[in-house]
Homo-oligomer: A and B are copies of this chain.
Amino acid sequence: MSFEHRVRVRYGETDQMGVVHHPEYLLYMEEARTAYMAHLGCPYSELERSGVGLAVRRVELRYFAGARYEEELRVTTHLERLRAASVSFRYEIERAADGARLVTGSTELACIDLTRPERPPRPLPSGLSEIVRRELAG
């Protein structure tokens, strides 16, 4: 029901305050979430190739302390909720060296049909929702 992923802060992800620029954490969360899906046997790249997308619909973030260049971060991703046409994740980002809490957040993703130009919502593919259900029961 949760997955741990590591990232190392790139120079270009910092800003002139000397810490990671606040939107970058969403990229770490996205990388962690898709690594989690790959770990569950559902790489997101394959999902898209099958014509199904997961589009971010809601984001909530709280910032406690800033990550610095070259620090290793631990991103723990939790599956939070499964609905017919959406799935939600929660994240904690900590500095790996000392476990200091840096950022927490959550994202809700809507399942969409990539084969149609207006990209309408659609139910999650049954294979994916089965895997998510099992993991949530985990």
- Spell out A's residues near B (CB within 8 Å): 8, 10-12, 14-19, 21-24, 26-27, 30-31, 34, 38, 43-45, 48, 53, 55-63, 66, 68-70, 114
Chain B residues with Cβ below 8 Å from A21 are: 11-12
On whether the beta carbons of B56 and A63 are closer than 8 Å, the reply is: yes
Q: How many copies does the complex hold?
A: 4
Main secondary structure of the interface of A (DSSP, over half): mixed
Instruction: Please indicate the chain B residues that have their CB under 8 angstroms from the CB of A14 in the complex.
Output: 15-16
B15 touches A23 (CB 8 A): no
User: Which residue of chain B has its CB nearest to the CB of A69?
Assistant: B45
Q: With A63-B58, A70-B45 as given contacts, are A12 and B17 in contact (CB-CB < 8 Å)?
A: no
Smallest beta-carbon distance A72→chain B, Å? 11
